Amino acid sequence: MQFLKSIVKCCQLILIVPLIFLLGFLVSNVHSESSRLLTVVPDYKLTFPHDYGAHQDFRIEWWYATGWLKTEDKEPLGFQITFFRYATDHDTANPSLFAPKYLIIAHLALSDPAVGKLLHEEKTAREGFGLAYAKEGNTDVKLDDWTLVKEENGRYLVDMQGDDIGLQLSLTPTQPVLLQGGDGFSRKGPKPEQASYYYSEPHLAVTGTVFRQNKPQTVTGSAWLDHEWSTAYLNEDADGWDWVGANLDDGSALMAFQIRHKDGSKLWSYAALRNAAGELTLFEPEQVDFTPERTWQSPYTDAVYPVAMRIRTGEIEWLLTPLFDDQELDANQSTGTVYWEGAVTLTRDEQPAGRGYLELTGYVSALDM
Amino acid sequence: MSSRLLFRWLLVGEWRAHLLQALVAIIAIALGIALGFSIHLINSAAYNEFSTATKHLSGQSDLQVRGTQAMFDEILYPTLVQHKSIALANPVLEFDVVVADKFADSRDNKLTILGTDMFRAINISPDAIGISTDGDRLDGLSDDAIFLSPAAMEWLQVKQGDLLQLRSGVQTVTLRVAGGLLRARVGQRVAVMDIGAAQWRFDHLGLLSRIELKLAEGINRDAFKISLAQELGEHYRVIESADQEARINNMSRAYRVNLNMLAMVALFTGAFLVFSTQVLSMIRRRRQFALLRVLGLTRAQLLRQVLLEGTVLGTIGSLLGLALGYATAATALHFFGGDLGSGFFSGVRPDIHFSWLAAATFFILGLGVTLLGSAAPAWEAANAKTAPALKSGSEDIALVKLATPWPAIACLVVAGLFTLFPPVFELPIFGYLAIVLLMVGIIALMPRFSALFFSAFLAISTKKSSAAVPMLALSRLANAPNQASLALGGILASFSLMVAMAIMVTSFRVSVDDWLGQVLPADMYVKLASSGDKGGFQPEQQQAMEAIPGISRLDFSRALQLTLDPSRPDITLIARPVDNDSPEKIIPIIGEAMASASFPAGSMPIWVSEAMVDLYGYHIGNQVNLPLGKAGEVAQDFVVAGIWRDYGRQFGAIQMQLSDYQQLTGDENVNAAGLWLQTDTASEQVMTTLRALPFNDALEISHSSEIRATSLKIFDRSFAVTYLLEMVAVVIGLLGVAASFSSQTLARAKEFSMLTHIGMVRRQIFGMLAAEGGLLAVLGVFLGFVLGWTISLILVFIVNPQSFHWTMQLHLPWGWLILVALVMVISAALTALLAGRRALSGNTIRTVRED
Amino acid sequence: MLELRQINKSYTGGLQVLSDLSYTLDAGEYVAIMGDSGVGKSTLLNLIAGLDTPDSGEVLIDGAAISSLDDNAATRLRREQFGFVFQAFHVLPHLTLQQNIALPLLLNGVSIDGVEKMLAAVGLQGRGDHFPRQLSGGELQRVAIARALIHHPKLVLADEPTGNLDPDTAHEVLMLMRTEIKANGASGILVTHSKAAAATADRVLMLTKAGLHPLAADQTS
């Protein structure tokens, strides 16, 4: 998923934006591509449940879920959770249980229009002692008491309790897995090695509980999950990206992203639209355009985000409108990076079409590392 | 207005005429205050910095879990992370390594490394996270990266990107300096690296030094501390920062207090000097005061005049002393750090902090002492009968009142009682009070002693001959004993202190020397430059050493730290082969050791140092538990089989059989070996063989004679401050001699001119003065010796055992004492002579007429 | 101005020196007291000055009993009303002549302006900044006289003021003292062994065991 693009920034490594935020320092390690890690190649056939699990031979991997929730009072609420697994260059021969060969990073965010801004928490730990891990074989990720597990029956269970916010959700698939790029090989740039393995699970039915200041609220809703892994490089000229993943009201699923040049122009783009019947339409880079419709200037960072966006996929034009403007995620304190990650509604021909999440990275000059 | 003018005239007039005495008094106060204040500043700066630096890197944890040994199994870590009452658990591995480049400097070649998990540390001790200047924070996870504090970089002369060779155990590890620890304390030498890398590279796999905890919201720390300690069992200690402070405090407290006490002793000598200067000045001015009384100065005004003069003197002296003390402390801290040779505060560079409270205390002390010195004579002057006081020759009467013997005798009795008291807060407070009281008492009794001594001397000598000069000198000393004894007081105070310190230091040194002979029975010793608590010689390396030809016996030993009480510094456990039937062969046992036949069945014998008796209440025959062995196993019983003397470890040490230790712990490694050579083997030969061992890089090989010499050198260095204090006391004492002699001789100008008139030649008068000075010094030195010897008994048998928990035998440095005694007598006689010359150079005719 | 009423004084040890001594000195009167050694001349002066207290009897100054004053009141009376001249001069060695002379003024808390004039009056003009060690005995005693009179006392007590001086100097000093006492309108008591000295007073009294009585004419030489 798009998240991918985040990686764009400074480094050549496919680094997810939040990852960059959590670990701005990852960057320079990128150069020393260790030989033990594999690169993404075409023609790999994803098999499940094996590929639901972790892929330790790749540099980076994440499970990302977003969605729209509704409280019992019918109030809308957006959520975003991410678990990253990151392979360091620490010597694999180190027998210490503390050896930081893999890092687990997790990120939790809530968008509540009543609050008017994003609430978020994050954690990082080294894998080890059974305290933090990303297991192979099926989705099973843990960071202290934060967990994301896929059960035998395909249902995801999320349990994340932060200091101020928390989630206990179950995400039940209602549609088959969507392999991006058709077979799960997702290109991120003009060069073939600029790619990742990538599948999505759209239209997950959500039930569960949201905690705020330890007060539980029962919620229901619809979510989108991405699982993506890679070792590959992003294009050196990439400056940021725009990404959207949306569950449409008619049962279709839309994913689109563009990777931007330093001058703001399109470096690469992609879109996939799968209708309720399961028919997948893939769009070539020249068929996908992102056009800012309205901008919002962050009072915190002065960054100007195109929070309302027009996206053209072939003949179709989508208008994305944010749940509220201030969904900027400021991780300045920990790593000095900031991006926008927000719940949006989609309209097509001025008719409500669905709801999703929009991610905008590379709009703050501070992203320059 | 006019009374202020009068005050000024009198003060200026007096000082103009007796500048030297005023200066001596000021210098005496200033030196005493300066010494006390500077030692206080240095100690408190060093202590605060050391404690802050220690706390700094252990962060803001609520509690810490440590093992009873320096390291414990990491298996505890996940348990604590998942404990429901614990919000955060931060694992830390702390150990020392030897810097290869600094290997030769065995006293200063160690670097402390903290192995941390940056993701855990960030929430508890963010200052202990390395920062790379190029912003690559992930480099902190690299297996070859080390981050150094600025002081460590400066010490090692490295910068980011350089390679650093470190030794641990028998191996050398090369690490890359990846960045700095920007927020380390100034002067703090410390390094940080990833905990996983540290465990691996330095062979500490599976081990942690401590786990710092932050508790979940709403958890009561005190209650949880107790319950967690119970959960974890006796192999772990749960401590809070208060415990840690107590531990640091305990570590250096005896040293600091003793140093402060020594400074107080110097201050006391200064105080006595001020006192005698003031008394002499009051006596000299007695007739002037009487005149002023006749002319209409009231008692209160006179008293105020004298006290104000004392205040001016005390204020100038104290302020000067504060400035001097501050400058001295700042200089010492800048050039030598806060360590003062003790080794307690190495690794930090404290900044001096001016403390108003301390300054005020010392100022009041200085002023108080001066006022005290002025008050008694001032009271006497104000209440003297005016008419008789106007007559000349009344001076000695004034002193009679000051010489009532009862307070002095009371002082001596109380001093005697105080020697029987136990320590307070583990400090020999009463011992020091006894010393002060003893000095006060003896000095106060001086007039009696000198009257007795010189009268007897006079009686004897006049029977034998009737030479004028000795007769005159002796008569004066016998009949004006009070003035004589004031001069004597200075000599007495300083000489007795010198004697006491000299005897104490000599006793200590000789005892340490004997002890070294006992604890170093082997010919050569081999140890690892740094092995920490783990590592060391592994069995195959031990075999390699045993195979060396020319060795008749090889004793391996294992030393490690044990925490028995978290608020006290660790004790040392030494496991080595010991002959159960005669442990005294290698352990300096005091008294009788328990016979092996009477060891209770199933108990392993241990031999404990004297400190264990004082601090932990161990006695021969006690059955005790030690946190050895594996967690969960049945605790092994130990029996205290003997007590030994240990000058090396004041916080306590235990020796046990190496075989017992290995059986109990399964730890086969050792840290050191003692080698006995075959009679026909040259040590060079064995040395060469050792140097050829594959792990020779990390070996420290020494002959026992070298160790002995080095130890004594360290001993001497750590007493350097004491010698300095002694010197200051001597200087103050000699100043006092000079001041009191010259002032008295000047006051006697009339007497001398009269003697000239009745036909004494100048040479005879000089002879008389020298005789007086010499005789006084002889008495002063004699009494000083007796007093000093008594004080040394208190130092050796009360202060030392109570402060440092070790005993010693008394040894007197006769040669040195005789030398100092001679110097004192000669310098006193010379001073008397010089002062006499000055007095006699005036117009003798006029002096007589004035009367 | 001064009245002695039946003074008795004996020393510890029982030696009675003064018994039932009574005498009245008028204002402006300058008398000399002679007597054998040990007869109590100095004791008498000390009693008058309030430096000593009689066993019985009273010393009245202008009708007020000095002998019943406490130490502070006696000291105050002394510094306001008395001037002293001693045989041993008793000049403070570390003060200048000026300062020495100004002492009574300072003690009384009044202006020290008159010192220079007084210095001139005793023949030491221009030497105010000198120290006592630069002076001869006669000069020192002039300083003492200046000091005794600077604050215009009612009574000057002089105890053998010329005992340490040669006869010529002694005479000069005595004449100066007389002149100054008279010039200041003070009364004076001069205790002396010397008949020549005594002769400079208005009257001469003899102190004996029997009391204080005028010297018979035939006893004057």
> How many domains does chain C divide into?
1
Task: Using an 8 Å CB-CB cutoff, list chain C residues near B11.
Answer: none
User: C75 at the B interface (CB within 8 A)?
Assistant: yes
Which pLDDT score, from 0 to 100, does residue B564 have? Answer: 82
Chain B touched by C73 (CB under 8 Å): no
Asked if C75 and B299 come within 8 Å (Cβ–Cβ), the reply is yes
Do strands A165-173 and B72-73 pair parallel, antiparallel, or not at all (unpaired)?
Answer: unpaired
Under a CB-based contact definition with an 8 Å cutoff, are residues B121 and B128 in contact?
A: yes
B779: burial class by Cβ within 10 Å (0-12, 13-18, 19+)? buried
Q: Could you tell me if B292 lies within 8 Å of chain C, comparing CB atoms?
A: yes
Task: Give B688's pLDDT tier (boundaries 50, 70, 90).
Answer: confident
Domains, chain A, with CATH or none: 3-367 (2.40.370.10)
Regions of chain A short of the pLDDT cut 70 = 1-35, 232-235, 331-337, 365-369
- Given a contact cutoff of 8 angstroms between Cβ atoms, the answer to whether B142 and A34 are in contact is no
pLDDT tier, B379 (very low <50, low <70, confident <90, very high otherwise): confident
Buried b (16+ CB within 10 A) or exposed e, B422-445: ebeebbbbbbbbbbbbbbbbbbbb
- Is the Cβ pair B140, A90 closer than 8 Å? no
Reference B344, options B424, B256, B426; nearest CA is B256
Tens-place pLDDT, residues A28-55 = 334 344 467 888 888 889 998 999 999 9
| Chains contacting B (3+ CB pairs below 8 angstroms) | A, C
Enter the tokens of residue B14.
Answer: 């007096």
Band of the pLDDT at B622, cuts 50, 70, 90? Answer: confident
Burial of B4 (0-12, 13-18, 19+ CB in 10 A): exposed
Nearest to B141 among A27, A95, A100 (CB): A100
The predicted pLDDT at position B391 comes to 65
Q: Please tell me the predicted confidence (pLDDT) of residue A366.
A: 37
Sign of the Cα pseudo-torsion (A344, A348, A352, A355, in order):
negative
At A222 the pLDDT is: 95
Per-residue model confidence (pLDDT) at position B395: 58
Inter-chain residue contact C71 with B3, CB threshold 8 Å: no
Which residue bears the tokens 């208060």?
Answer: B242
Which residues does B464 contact at the CB level (< 8 Å), separation at least 6? none
Is residue A338 within 8 Å of residue A328, measured between CB atoms? yes
> What kind and span of H or E run contains C58?
strand C56-61
Residues of A in contact with B114 (CB under 8 A): none
Residues in B closer than 8 angstroms to A124, CB to CB, are 119
Residues B651 and B2: their CA atoms lie apart, in Å, by 65
d(CA B647, CA B154): 34
Question: Is C99 within 8 Å of chain B by CB?
Answer: yes
- Kindly list the partner chains of chain A, i.e. chains with 3 or more CB atom pairs below 8 Å: B
3-state secondary structure C68-119: HCCHHHHHHHHHHHEEEEECCCCCCCCCCHHHHHHHHHHHHCCCCCCHHHHH
Question: Cβ atoms within 10 A of the Cβ of A164, count?
Answer: 13
Q: Measured between CA atoms, how close is B52 to chain C, in angstroms?
A: 57
- Residue A16's pLDDT is what? 31
For an interface test with B, the pick among C45, C84, C103 (most B C-beta atoms closer than 10 Å) comes out as: C103
For residues B138-156, give the mean pLDDT. 87
d(CA B30, CA B23): 10
Query: Can you give the pLDDT of all 221 residues of chain C as single tens digits?
Result: 888 888 888 876 677 788 888 888 888 889 999 888 778 888 888 888 887 888 888 888 888 887 778 888 888 888 888 888 888 778 887 788 888 888 888 888 888 888 888 888 888 888 888 888 888 888 888 888 888 888 888 888 888 888 777 888 888 888 888 888 888 888 999 988 888 888 888 889 888 887 788 876 444 44
pLDDT at A24: 31
Across the interface, do A88 and B138 touch by the CB < 8 Å criterion? yes
User: Domain range holding C82?
Assistant: 28-39+74-219
- B625-641, pLDDT tens digit by residue? 887 776 566 677 888 88
Position B681 pLDDT exceeds 80? no
Burial group, residue B172, by CB count within 10 angstroms (0-12, 13-18, 19+): middle
The pLDDT tens digits of the residues spanning B453-497 come to 877 877 777 666 666 677 777 777 776 666 666 667 767 777 787
Domains of chain B, residue spans: 1-57+258-403, 63-239, 441-521+704-851, 532-670
List Cβ neighbours of B663 (8 Å cut-off, separation of 6 or more). Answer: none
For residue A125, list chain B residues with Cβ-Cβ distance below 8 A.
119-120
State the residue for tokens 């031979």.
A57
Instruction: Kindly determine whether residue A88 and residue B119, on different chains, have CB atoms separated by under 8 Å.
Output: no
Shortest distance between the Cα of C154 and any Cα of chain B, in A, equals 14
For the ranges B740-749, B761-770, C9-18, C103-112, the one whose mean pLDDT is highest: C103-112
Q: Which residue has the higher pLDDT, B835 or B814?
A: B814
Measure CA B127 to chain center: 33
B848 touches chain C (CB under 8 A): no
Res C220: pLDDT: 45
CATH number at residue C99: 3.40.50.300
Which residues on B lie below 8 Å from A9 (Cβ)? none
Chain A and chain C touch, per 3+ beta carbon pairs within 8 A: no
Query: From the centroid of its chain, how far is CA A5?
Result: 9
Q: In the prediction, which pLDDT does B254 show?
A: 63
* Percent of all residues in chain B with a pLDDT value above 90, rounded to a whole number: 6
**Does the beta carbon of B298 lie under 8 angstroms from any beta carbon of chain C?**
yes
Amino acid of residue B436: V
Q: If you average pLDDT over residues B22-41, what whole number do you get?
A: 81
- For residue B850, which residues of chain C lie inside 8 Å, CB to CB? 88-89, 137, 164
Shortest alpha-carbon distance between residue B14 and chain C (Å):
6
Residue B661 reports pLDDT greater than 90: no
Helix-strand-coil percent breakdown of chain A, rounded to 5? 5, 55, 40
pLDDT of B229 above 70: yes
Stretch B372-384: mean pLDDT: 75
Q: A159: distance to nearest CA of chain B, Å?
A: 16
Chain A: residue whose CA lies nearest to B140: A25
The distance of B161 to chain A (nearest Cα, Å) reads 15
- Helix (H/G/I), strand (E/B), else coil: B38: helix
Say yes or no: C64 contacts chain B, CB-CB below 8 A: no
pLDDT (tens digit, 9 = 90+) per residue, C70-115? 888 888 888 888 888 888 778 887 788 888 888 888 888 888 888 8
| Residue B126 near chain C (CB below 8 Å) | no
What is the predicted ipTM? 0.86
Mean pLDDT of B568-573: 83
Q: Is the pLDDT of residue B850 over 60?
A: no
Burial class (CB in 10 A: 0-12, 13-18, 19+), B218: exposed
Locate C53 and state its tokens: 């207290």
